[in-house]
Amino acid sequence: MQNTTPLFPGFHLQTLRRKPRSASQKLSDEVVKLKQKSFSQLGECFRNFIPSQYLRPSESGALSRRRFFSKENTFWAFFSQVLGDDGGCQEVIRKLQAFAAMKSKPLPSSSTAAYCQARSKLDLPGLETILQHTANQLQNIPDPERRNGRRVVVVDGTGVSMPDTIANQLMWPQQRHQKAGCGFPQASICACFCLQTGALLSHEVGNKKSHELPMLRKQWDTFKPGDIFLGDKGFCSYFDLSSFKDRGVDSVITLARRIPVTEVDAVEVLGNDDLLIHWKKPVRSKASSYSQADWEALPETLLLRQIKVSVNQPGFRTQRFYIITPLLDAKAYTADNLADLYFQRWDVELFFRDIKTTMGMDILRCKTPDMVCKEIVMHMIAYNCIRYLMVEAAEQAGEQVRRLSFKGSVQALRQWEPHLNQNKISPQEQRRLIQLLYESIADYIVPERPGRSEPRAVKRRPKPYQLLTAPRHEMQETKHRGRCNGKAA
Protein backbone atom coordinates (compact mmCIF):
# COMPACT_ATOMS: atom_id res chain seq x y z
CA MET A 1 0.00 0.00 0.00
CA GLN A 2 1.34 3.39 -0.95
CA ASN A 3 2.29 5.66 1.97
CA THR A 4 0.28 8.90 1.82
CA THR A 5 1.77 10.48 4.96
CA PRO A 6 5.44 11.34 4.18
CA LEU A 7 6.01 13.02 7.55
CA PHE A 8 4.89 9.93 9.48
CA PRO A 9 5.86 6.88 7.44
CA GLY A 10 4.34 4.41 9.89
CA PHE A 11 0.83 5.85 9.81
CA HIS A 12 -1.85 5.53 7.22
CA LEU A 13 -4.81 7.90 6.71
CA GLN A 14 -7.23 5.00 6.80
CA THR A 15 -6.32 4.24 10.42
CA LEU A 16 -6.64 7.91 11.50
CA ARG A 17 -10.22 8.39 10.29
CA ARG A 18 -13.05 8.53 12.77
CA LYS A 19 -15.68 5.85 12.96
CA PRO A 20 -18.52 6.63 10.51
CA ARG A 21 -21.49 8.31 12.18
CA SER A 22 -24.86 6.62 11.98
CA ALA A 23 -27.93 8.24 10.47
CA SER A 24 -29.56 8.57 13.91
CA GLN A 25 -26.53 10.43 15.26
CA LYS A 26 -26.57 12.84 12.33
CA LEU A 27 -30.31 13.40 12.78
CA SER A 28 -29.77 14.04 16.49
CA ASP A 29 -27.18 16.71 15.68
CA GLU A 30 -29.57 18.36 13.23
CA VAL A 31 -32.32 18.44 15.86
CA VAL A 32 -29.93 20.12 18.31
CA LYS A 33 -29.11 22.76 15.70
CA LEU A 34 -32.80 23.33 15.02
CA LYS A 35 -33.49 23.84 18.71
CA GLN A 36 -30.66 26.36 18.90
CA LYS A 37 -32.27 28.33 16.06
CA SER A 38 -35.86 27.90 17.24
CA PHE A 39 -38.48 30.61 17.61
CA SER A 40 -40.42 28.53 20.13
CA GLN A 41 -38.79 30.14 23.15
CA LEU A 42 -41.49 32.79 22.81
CA GLY A 43 -43.94 30.03 23.63
CA GLU A 44 -42.51 29.76 27.13
CA CYS A 45 -44.81 32.64 28.10
CA PHE A 46 -47.81 30.77 26.72
CA ARG A 47 -46.98 27.08 27.24
CA ASN A 48 -49.99 26.76 29.58
CA PHE A 49 -52.15 28.71 27.15
CA ILE A 50 -51.28 27.08 23.78
CA PRO A 51 -50.45 23.37 24.33
CA SER A 52 -47.66 21.87 22.25
CA GLN A 53 -50.03 19.21 20.92
CA TYR A 54 -51.48 21.77 18.51
CA LEU A 55 -48.01 22.44 17.07
CA ARG A 56 -46.78 18.90 16.56
CA PRO A 57 -45.66 17.94 13.04
CA SER A 58 -48.39 16.57 10.81
CA GLU A 59 -48.48 12.83 10.27
CA SER A 60 -48.13 13.26 6.53
CA GLY A 61 -48.10 15.94 3.89
CA ALA A 62 -47.18 19.56 4.55
CA LEU A 63 -45.08 20.35 7.65
CA SER A 64 -44.73 16.65 8.49
CA ARG A 65 -40.92 16.55 8.20
CA ARG A 66 -38.53 17.98 10.76
CA ARG A 67 -37.21 20.94 8.79
CA PHE A 68 -35.88 24.22 10.14
CA PHE A 69 -39.26 25.85 9.48
CA SER A 70 -41.20 23.11 11.22
CA LYS A 71 -44.83 23.56 12.18
CA GLU A 72 -43.86 24.83 15.64
CA ASN A 73 -41.12 27.14 14.38
CA THR A 74 -43.32 28.50 11.58
CA PHE A 75 -46.20 29.18 13.96
CA TRP A 76 -44.06 31.09 16.47
CA ALA A 77 -42.25 32.90 13.66
CA PHE A 78 -45.65 34.02 12.32
CA PHE A 79 -46.65 34.96 15.88
CA SER A 80 -43.44 36.98 16.28
CA GLN A 81 -44.08 38.69 12.94
CA VAL A 82 -47.57 39.76 14.02
CA LEU A 83 -46.26 40.94 17.37
CA GLY A 84 -43.32 42.90 15.92
CA ASP A 85 -43.17 46.62 15.20
CA ASP A 86 -42.62 46.21 11.47
CA GLY A 87 -44.75 43.16 10.77
CA GLY A 88 -42.86 42.14 7.60
CA CYS A 89 -41.49 38.74 6.65
CA GLN A 90 -38.00 40.21 6.38
CA GLU A 91 -38.09 41.07 10.08
CA VAL A 92 -38.43 37.37 10.92
CA ILE A 93 -35.37 36.54 8.82
CA ARG A 94 -33.36 39.38 10.38
CA LYS A 95 -34.29 38.13 13.83
CA LEU A 96 -33.10 34.66 12.85
CA GLN A 97 -29.81 36.06 11.52
CA ALA A 98 -29.24 38.05 14.71
CA PHE A 99 -29.90 34.94 16.81
CA ALA A 100 -27.48 32.90 14.68
CA ALA A 101 -24.80 35.62 14.93
CA MET A 102 -25.15 35.63 18.71
CA LYS A 103 -24.44 31.87 18.71
CA SER A 104 -21.48 32.30 16.31
CA LYS A 105 -23.35 30.37 13.62
CA PRO A 106 -23.24 31.02 9.86
CA LEU A 107 -25.84 33.60 8.88
CA PRO A 108 -28.89 32.13 7.10
CA SER A 109 -29.93 33.46 3.72
CA SER A 110 -31.73 36.81 3.61
CA SER A 111 -34.38 35.37 1.31
CA THR A 112 -37.89 35.05 2.74
CA ALA A 113 -38.95 32.36 0.25
CA ALA A 114 -38.53 29.39 2.61
CA TYR A 115 -40.40 31.10 5.44
CA CYS A 116 -43.25 32.25 3.17
CA GLN A 117 -43.64 28.74 1.74
CA ALA A 118 -43.72 27.21 5.21
CA ARG A 119 -46.20 29.84 6.40
CA SER A 120 -48.55 29.07 3.51
CA LYS A 121 -48.60 25.40 4.58
CA LEU A 122 -50.14 26.22 7.97
CA ASP A 123 -53.72 24.99 7.73
CA LEU A 124 -56.45 27.51 8.52
CA PRO A 125 -58.67 25.05 10.48
CA GLY A 126 -55.70 24.30 12.74
CA LEU A 127 -55.17 27.99 13.45
CA GLU A 128 -58.88 28.45 14.15
CA THR A 129 -58.71 25.52 16.58
CA ILE A 130 -55.88 27.25 18.44
CA LEU A 131 -57.87 30.50 18.49
CA GLN A 132 -60.90 28.71 19.92
CA HIS A 133 -58.72 27.05 22.56
CA THR A 134 -57.33 30.41 23.67
CA ALA A 135 -60.86 31.80 23.95
CA ASN A 136 -61.96 28.83 26.05
CA GLN A 137 -58.91 29.15 28.29
CA LEU A 138 -59.68 32.80 29.00
CA GLN A 139 -63.28 31.93 29.85
CA ASN A 140 -62.15 29.29 32.36
CA ILE A 141 -60.34 31.92 34.44
CA PRO A 142 -62.54 33.01 37.40
CA ASP A 143 -63.81 36.54 36.84
CA PRO A 144 -65.24 38.48 39.80
CA GLU A 145 -66.37 41.34 37.52
CA ARG A 146 -69.23 39.47 35.85
CA ARG A 147 -72.57 41.25 35.75
CA ASN A 148 -74.75 39.51 38.39
CA GLY A 149 -72.62 36.42 37.85
CA ARG A 150 -73.37 36.45 34.11
CA ARG A 151 -70.99 36.77 31.18
CA VAL A 152 -71.50 39.80 28.94
CA VAL A 153 -70.69 39.24 25.26
CA VAL A 154 -70.26 42.47 23.32
CA VAL A 155 -70.47 42.37 19.52
CA ASP A 156 -69.44 44.86 16.87
CA GLY A 157 -68.05 45.04 13.36
CA THR A 158 -65.07 46.69 11.72
CA GLY A 159 -63.20 46.76 8.42
CA VAL A 160 -59.66 46.04 7.22
CA SER A 161 -57.82 46.58 3.95
CA MET A 162 -55.19 44.51 2.18
CA PRO A 163 -52.86 44.58 -0.87
CA ASP A 164 -54.50 45.35 -4.20
CA THR A 165 -54.21 42.00 -5.96
CA ILE A 166 -56.62 40.35 -8.38
CA ALA A 167 -57.33 37.45 -6.03
CA ASN A 168 -58.07 39.77 -3.10
CA GLN A 169 -60.29 42.00 -5.25
CA LEU A 170 -62.38 39.02 -6.35
CA MET A 171 -62.95 37.95 -2.75
CA TRP A 172 -63.26 41.40 -1.15
CA PRO A 173 -64.07 44.04 -3.80
CA GLN A 174 -63.26 47.68 -3.20
CA GLN A 175 -65.87 50.43 -2.94
CA ARG A 176 -67.84 51.23 -6.09
CA HIS A 177 -66.99 54.93 -6.13
CA GLN A 178 -63.25 54.15 -6.42
CA LYS A 179 -61.63 53.76 -9.80
CA ALA A 180 -59.97 50.50 -10.72
CA GLY A 181 -56.35 50.46 -9.58
CA CYS A 182 -56.89 53.33 -7.13
CA GLY A 183 -58.42 51.51 -4.17
CA PHE A 184 -57.79 48.52 -1.96
CA PRO A 185 -59.86 45.39 -1.22
CA GLN A 186 -61.98 45.84 1.88
CA ALA A 187 -63.01 43.03 4.23
CA SER A 188 -65.54 43.38 7.03
CA ILE A 189 -65.23 41.53 10.34
CA CYS A 190 -67.90 40.87 12.95
CA ALA A 191 -66.45 39.66 16.25
CA CYS A 192 -67.72 38.65 19.69
CA PHE A 193 -65.73 39.72 22.76
CA CYS A 194 -66.06 38.99 26.45
CA LEU A 195 -66.64 42.40 28.03
CA GLN A 196 -64.98 41.50 31.34
CA THR A 197 -61.71 39.96 30.06
CA GLY A 198 -61.58 41.41 26.55
CA ALA A 199 -61.11 37.91 25.09
CA LEU A 200 -62.03 37.46 21.43
CA LEU A 201 -64.51 34.57 21.42
CA SER A 202 -65.36 34.21 17.73
CA HIS A 203 -65.35 36.11 14.47
CA GLU A 204 -66.73 36.04 10.95
CA VAL A 205 -65.15 37.60 7.84
CA GLY A 206 -67.21 39.02 4.99
CA ASN A 207 -67.00 41.54 2.18
CA LYS A 208 -68.51 45.00 1.73
CA LYS A 209 -71.96 43.48 1.05
CA SER A 210 -71.98 41.48 4.31
CA HIS A 211 -74.17 42.96 7.03
CA GLU A 212 -73.24 42.49 10.67
CA LEU A 213 -76.50 40.73 11.59
CA PRO A 214 -76.10 37.73 9.21
CA MET A 215 -72.47 37.41 10.32
CA LEU A 216 -73.58 37.45 13.96
CA ARG A 217 -76.10 34.66 13.30
CA LYS A 218 -73.24 32.43 12.16
CA GLN A 219 -71.72 32.90 15.63
CA TRP A 220 -74.78 31.98 17.70
CA ASP A 221 -72.97 28.92 19.07
CA THR A 222 -70.60 31.30 20.88
CA PHE A 223 -73.40 32.28 23.26
CA LYS A 224 -74.32 30.11 26.23
CA PRO A 225 -77.54 30.12 28.28
CA GLY A 226 -77.31 32.88 30.87
CA ASP A 227 -75.14 35.21 28.75
CA ILE A 228 -76.01 38.84 28.10
CA PHE A 229 -75.67 40.07 24.52
CA LEU A 230 -74.59 43.71 24.29
CA GLY A 231 -74.76 45.54 20.95
CA ASP A 232 -75.47 48.85 19.29
CA LYS A 233 -78.49 49.82 17.18
CA GLY A 234 -77.15 47.89 14.18
CA PHE A 235 -78.21 44.69 15.95
CA CYS A 236 -81.73 45.87 16.78
CA SER A 237 -83.82 43.12 15.19
CA TYR A 238 -87.07 41.43 16.19
CA PHE A 239 -85.86 38.09 14.81
CA ASP A 240 -82.59 38.17 16.74
CA LEU A 241 -84.13 39.37 20.00
CA SER A 242 -86.60 36.47 19.92
CA SER A 243 -83.94 33.94 18.83
CA PHE A 244 -81.57 34.97 21.61
CA LYS A 245 -84.39 34.75 24.14
CA ASP A 246 -85.14 31.17 23.00
CA ARG A 247 -81.47 30.33 23.62
CA GLY A 248 -81.60 31.71 27.16
CA VAL A 249 -79.60 34.80 26.22
CA ASP A 250 -80.79 38.28 27.23
CA SER A 251 -80.03 41.24 24.98
CA VAL A 252 -79.16 44.86 25.76
CA ILE A 253 -79.31 46.94 22.58
CA THR A 254 -80.37 50.41 21.50
CA LEU A 255 -83.56 51.17 19.63
CA ALA A 256 -83.41 51.66 15.86
CA ARG A 257 -85.97 51.96 13.05
CA ARG A 258 -88.87 52.05 15.54
CA ILE A 259 -90.68 54.93 17.20
CA PRO A 260 -90.21 54.82 21.00
CA VAL A 261 -93.29 53.75 22.97
CA THR A 262 -94.82 56.45 25.17
CA GLU A 263 -96.16 55.97 28.69
CA VAL A 264 -99.72 56.00 27.33
CA ASP A 265 -99.11 52.87 25.23
CA ALA A 266 -96.87 51.12 27.77
CA VAL A 267 -97.92 47.94 29.55
CA GLU A 268 -96.52 49.20 32.86
CA VAL A 269 -94.42 52.10 34.11
CA LEU A 270 -91.49 50.64 36.08
CA GLY A 271 -89.86 53.97 36.89
CA ASN A 272 -88.80 57.30 35.51
CA ASP A 273 -88.23 56.76 31.74
CA ASP A 274 -88.47 53.00 32.38
CA LEU A 275 -91.38 51.26 30.62
CA LEU A 276 -92.63 47.74 30.09
CA ILE A 277 -93.79 47.50 26.47
CA HIS A 278 -95.07 45.10 23.81
CA TRP A 279 -93.30 44.80 20.47
CA LYS A 280 -95.41 43.60 17.57
CA LYS A 281 -93.87 41.43 14.90
CA PRO A 282 -93.17 43.57 11.82
CA VAL A 283 -93.59 42.61 8.20
CA ARG A 284 -90.81 40.32 6.98
CA SER A 285 -88.33 41.97 4.67
CA LYS A 286 -87.65 40.32 1.32
CA ALA A 287 -83.90 40.75 1.83
CA SER A 288 -83.92 38.75 5.08
CA SER A 289 -81.35 35.98 5.46
CA TYR A 290 -83.75 33.70 7.36
CA SER A 291 -86.52 31.57 5.88
CA GLN A 292 -90.25 32.18 5.88
CA ALA A 293 -90.75 29.18 8.17
CA ASP A 294 -88.35 30.61 10.75
CA TRP A 295 -90.18 33.92 10.60
CA GLU A 296 -93.62 32.35 11.06
CA ALA A 297 -92.35 30.43 14.10
CA LEU A 298 -91.68 33.68 15.96
CA PRO A 299 -94.22 34.94 18.51
CA GLU A 300 -96.55 37.72 17.45
CA THR A 301 -95.39 40.04 20.28
CA LEU A 302 -92.39 40.37 22.59
CA LEU A 303 -92.60 41.68 26.14
CA LEU A 304 -89.62 44.02 26.49
CA ARG A 305 -88.33 46.85 28.57
CA GLN A 306 -87.64 50.33 27.17
CA ILE A 307 -85.30 52.68 29.05
CA LYS A 308 -84.68 56.27 27.99
CA VAL A 309 -81.14 57.42 28.74
CA SER A 310 -80.28 61.12 28.69
CA VAL A 311 -76.63 62.12 28.17
CA ASN A 312 -75.78 65.35 29.95
CA GLN A 313 -72.01 65.15 29.46
CA PRO A 314 -70.66 68.00 27.26
CA GLY A 315 -68.83 66.90 24.13
CA PHE A 316 -70.83 63.71 23.57
CA ARG A 317 -72.39 63.31 20.13
CA THR A 318 -75.54 61.58 21.41
CA GLN A 319 -77.91 63.47 23.70
CA ARG A 320 -80.42 60.68 24.32
CA PHE A 321 -81.06 57.09 23.30
CA TYR A 322 -83.36 54.19 24.18
CA ILE A 323 -82.26 50.80 25.52
CA ILE A 324 -84.33 47.73 24.62
CA THR A 325 -83.90 44.59 26.71
CA PRO A 326 -85.85 41.50 27.88
CA LEU A 327 -84.38 41.97 31.40
CA LEU A 328 -87.70 42.81 33.04
CA ASP A 329 -86.65 42.68 36.71
CA ALA A 330 -86.25 46.37 37.59
CA LYS A 331 -84.80 45.54 41.02
CA ALA A 332 -82.07 43.14 39.88
CA TYR A 333 -81.28 45.24 36.80
CA THR A 334 -81.96 48.88 37.52
CA ALA A 335 -82.17 51.47 34.75
CA ASP A 336 -78.93 53.11 35.90
CA ASN A 337 -77.08 49.78 35.90
CA LEU A 338 -78.22 48.98 32.36
CA ALA A 339 -77.28 52.48 31.20
CA ASP A 340 -73.83 52.00 32.76
CA LEU A 341 -73.56 48.59 31.07
CA TYR A 342 -74.30 50.10 27.68
CA PHE A 343 -71.76 52.85 28.40
CA GLN A 344 -69.16 50.07 28.76
CA ARG A 345 -70.05 48.91 25.23
CA TRP A 346 -67.48 51.44 24.07
CA ASP A 347 -64.81 48.99 25.25
CA VAL A 348 -65.40 46.92 22.10
CA GLU A 349 -64.15 49.89 20.07
CA LEU A 350 -61.01 49.83 22.20
CA PHE A 351 -60.65 46.07 21.63
CA PHE A 352 -60.70 46.60 17.88
CA ARG A 353 -58.28 49.50 18.25
CA ASP A 354 -55.90 47.20 20.13
CA ILE A 355 -55.97 44.65 17.31
CA LYS A 356 -56.00 47.03 14.35
CA THR A 357 -53.87 49.96 15.49
CA THR A 358 -51.60 48.59 18.22
CA MET A 359 -51.01 45.22 16.51
CA GLY A 360 -51.27 46.51 12.94
CA MET A 361 -54.20 44.48 11.56
CA ASP A 362 -55.76 47.59 10.02
CA ILE A 363 -53.71 47.13 6.84
CA LEU A 364 -52.94 43.47 6.10
CA ARG A 365 -49.92 42.35 4.07
CA CYS A 366 -50.76 39.02 2.47
CA LYS A 367 -51.59 38.87 -1.23
CA THR A 368 -53.93 35.86 -1.42
CA PRO A 369 -57.32 35.33 0.28
CA ASP A 370 -56.11 32.16 2.01
CA MET A 371 -53.13 33.92 3.58
CA VAL A 372 -55.25 36.99 4.44
CA CYS A 373 -57.59 34.74 6.48
CA LYS A 374 -54.58 33.14 8.21
CA GLU A 375 -53.13 36.57 8.96
CA ILE A 376 -56.41 37.69 10.53
CA VAL A 377 -56.63 34.55 12.70
CA MET A 378 -52.99 34.87 13.77
CA HIS A 379 -53.57 38.48 14.85
CA MET A 380 -56.49 37.30 16.95
CA ILE A 381 -54.44 34.48 18.50
CA ALA A 382 -51.72 36.96 19.46
CA TYR A 383 -54.39 39.32 20.80
CA ASN A 384 -55.83 36.61 23.06
CA CYS A 385 -52.33 35.71 24.24
CA ILE A 386 -51.70 39.30 25.29
CA ARG A 387 -55.07 39.32 27.05
CA TYR A 388 -54.03 36.15 28.87
CA LEU A 389 -50.89 37.86 30.16
CA MET A 390 -52.99 40.85 31.26
CA VAL A 391 -55.50 38.65 33.10
CA GLU A 392 -52.71 36.76 34.87
CA ALA A 393 -50.91 40.00 35.78
CA ALA A 394 -54.13 41.65 36.99
CA GLU A 395 -54.99 38.63 39.15
CA GLN A 396 -51.58 38.64 40.81
CA ALA A 397 -51.63 42.41 41.36
CA GLY A 398 -55.27 42.55 42.49
CA GLU A 399 -56.22 45.01 39.72
CA GLN A 400 -59.01 45.11 37.17
CA VAL A 401 -58.08 43.85 33.72
CA ARG A 402 -59.65 46.83 31.97
CA ARG A 403 -57.34 49.16 33.96
CA LEU A 404 -54.20 47.61 32.42
CA SER A 405 -52.76 49.04 29.22
CA PHE A 406 -52.88 46.71 26.22
CA LYS A 407 -50.25 48.69 24.35
CA GLY A 408 -48.03 48.68 27.43
CA SER A 409 -48.41 44.90 27.62
CA VAL A 410 -47.39 44.51 23.96
CA GLN A 411 -44.38 46.76 24.50
CA ALA A 412 -43.34 44.76 27.56
CA LEU A 413 -43.57 41.43 25.73
CA ARG A 414 -41.60 42.82 22.77
CA GLN A 415 -38.76 43.81 25.08
CA TRP A 416 -38.86 40.61 27.13
CA GLU A 417 -38.84 38.35 24.05
CA PRO A 418 -35.06 38.62 23.28
CA HIS A 419 -34.24 37.64 26.88
CA LEU A 420 -36.61 34.68 26.80
CA ASN A 421 -35.31 33.64 23.37
CA GLN A 422 -32.18 31.93 24.74
CA ASN A 423 -31.66 28.18 24.62
CA LYS A 424 -29.23 28.10 27.58
CA ILE A 425 -31.56 29.83 30.02
CA SER A 426 -32.59 27.70 32.99
CA PRO A 427 -36.24 26.97 33.91
CA GLN A 428 -35.79 28.94 37.15
CA GLU A 429 -34.52 31.96 35.23
CA GLN A 430 -37.42 31.67 32.80
CA ARG A 431 -39.95 31.69 35.62
CA ARG A 432 -38.20 34.68 37.19
CA LEU A 433 -38.30 36.63 33.92
CA ILE A 434 -41.96 35.79 33.31
CA GLN A 435 -42.83 36.88 36.84
CA LEU A 436 -41.05 40.19 36.24
CA LEU A 437 -42.98 40.47 32.97
CA TYR A 438 -46.24 40.17 34.89
CA GLU A 439 -45.11 42.82 37.35
CA SER A 440 -44.14 45.14 34.50
CA ILE A 441 -47.55 44.71 32.84
CA ALA A 442 -49.46 45.36 36.08
CA ASP A 443 -47.24 48.31 37.01
CA TYR A 444 -48.79 50.65 34.43
CA ILE A 445 -52.40 51.43 35.37
CA VAL A 446 -54.56 53.40 32.94
CA PRO A 447 -56.14 56.29 34.89
CA GLU A 448 -59.90 56.53 35.07
CA ARG A 449 -61.25 59.40 32.96
CA PRO A 450 -65.04 59.38 33.40
CA GLY A 451 -66.91 61.46 30.86
CA ARG A 452 -63.81 62.11 28.76
CA SER A 453 -64.66 63.27 25.23
CA GLU A 454 -63.03 61.23 22.44
CA PRO A 455 -63.94 62.97 19.15
CA ARG A 456 -63.30 60.97 15.99
CA ALA A 457 -61.11 63.60 14.40
CA VAL A 458 -57.55 63.82 13.10
CA LYS A 459 -55.44 66.64 14.50
CA ARG A 460 -52.23 66.22 12.45
CA ARG A 461 -52.69 67.44 8.87
CA PRO A 462 -51.51 65.17 6.03
CA LYS A 463 -48.95 66.30 3.50
CA PRO A 464 -50.43 68.11 0.47
CA TYR A 465 -49.92 65.28 -2.01
CA GLN A 466 -52.26 64.47 -4.85
CA LEU A 467 -54.76 61.68 -4.54
CA LEU A 468 -54.20 58.66 -6.77
CA THR A 469 -57.10 59.15 -9.21
CA ALA A 470 -55.81 56.78 -11.91
CA PRO A 471 -53.88 53.49 -11.97
CA ARG A 472 -50.26 53.91 -10.98
CA HIS A 473 -48.85 53.36 -14.48
CA GLU A 474 -51.26 55.97 -15.90
CA MET A 475 -51.02 58.58 -13.16
CA GLN A 476 -49.22 61.82 -14.05
CA GLU A 477 -47.98 63.95 -11.20
CA THR A 478 -48.91 67.64 -11.33
CA LYS A 479 -45.84 69.86 -11.48
CA HIS A 480 -45.55 72.62 -8.91
CA ARG A 481 -48.49 71.11 -7.02
CA GLY A 482 -47.78 73.46 -4.10
CA ARG A 483 -48.80 76.43 -6.24
CA CYS A 484 -51.90 74.81 -7.61
CA ASN A 485 -55.31 74.56 -6.10
CA GLY A 486 -55.39 70.87 -6.85
CA LYS A 487 -57.08 68.28 -4.71
CA ALA A 488 -54.95 67.57 -1.64
CA ALA A 489 -54.78 64.37 0.33
**pLDDT (tens digit, 9 = 90+) per residue, 214-223?**
999 999 999 9
**Who wins on pLDDT, 102 or 321?**
321
Contact between 131 and 156 under an 8 Å Cβ cutoff? The reply is: no
Instruction: Tell me whether residue 218 is exposed, middle or buried, using C-beta atoms within 10 angstroms of its C-beta: 0 to 12, 13 to 18, 19 or more.
Output: middle
User: Could you write out the three-class secondary structure of the chain?
Assistant: CCCCCCCCCCCCHHHHCCCCCCHHHHHHHHHHHHHHCCCHHHHHHHCCCCCHHHHCCCCCCCCCCCCCCCHHHHHHHHHHHHHCCCCCHHHHHHHHHHHHHHCCCCCCCCCCHHHHHHHHCCCHHHHHHHHHHHHHHHHHCCCCCCECCECEEEEEEEEEECCCCHHHHHHCCCCCCCCCCCCCCEEEEEEEEECCCCCEEEEEEECCCCCHHHHHHCCHHHCCCCCEEECCHHHCCHHHHHHHHHCCCEEEEECCCCCCCCCCCCCEEEECCEEEEEEECCCCCCCCCCCHHHHHCCCCEEEEEEEEEECCCCCCCCCEEEEEECCCCCCCCCHHHHHHHHHHHHHHHHHHHHHHHHCCCCECCCCCHHHHHHHHHHHHHHHHHHHHHHHHHHHHHCCCHHHECHHHHHHHHHHHHHHHCCCCCCHHHHHHHHHHHHHHHHHCECCCCCCCCCCCCCCCCCCCCECCCCCCCCCCCCCCHHHCCCCEC
More confident residue, 47 or 211: 211
Residue 227 pLDDT > 70: yes
pLDDT, tens only, 373-400: 999 999 999 999 999 999 989 988 888 8
Q: Which of 12-21, 96-105, 231-240 has the lowest mean pLDDT?
A: 12-21
Residue 230 pLDDT > 90, yes or no? yes
| Mean pLDDT for the stretch of residues 272-291 | 87
The model's confidence at residue 153, banded by pLDDT at 50, 70 and 90, is: very high
More confident residue, 179 or 106: 179
Please determine, for residue 455, whether its predicted confidence score (pLDDT) is greater than 90: no
> Mean pLDDT, the chain, as a whole number?
84
Given this model, what pLDDT does residue 471 score? 82
The most confident of 119-133, 165-179, 457-471, by mean pLDDT: 119-133
Residue 463: pLDDT over 90? no
**pLDDT number for residue 112:** 86
| pLDDT over threshold 70, residue 12 | no
- Digit-coded pLDDT (tens) for 256-266: 888 999 998 99
% of the chain at pLDDT higher than 90: 44
Residue 487 has pLDDT above 60, yes or no: no
CA distance to 38, 69, 72, 149, 431, per residue, from 426 (Å): 16, 25, 21, 41, 9
Query: Per-domain residue ranges for the chain?
Result: 32-122, 125-358
CATH of 125-358 given 3.90.350.10, 3.40.50.720, 1.20.1290.10, 3.30.2390.10: 3.90.350.10
Global pTM value: 0.85
* pLDDT on residue 483: 53
Confidence check: pLDDT of 13 > 70: no
pLDDT digits (tens, 9 = 90+) for 285-319: 877 778 888 888 999 999 999 999 988 877 677 78
- pLDDT in the model for residue 340: 92
pLDDT value of position 478: 75
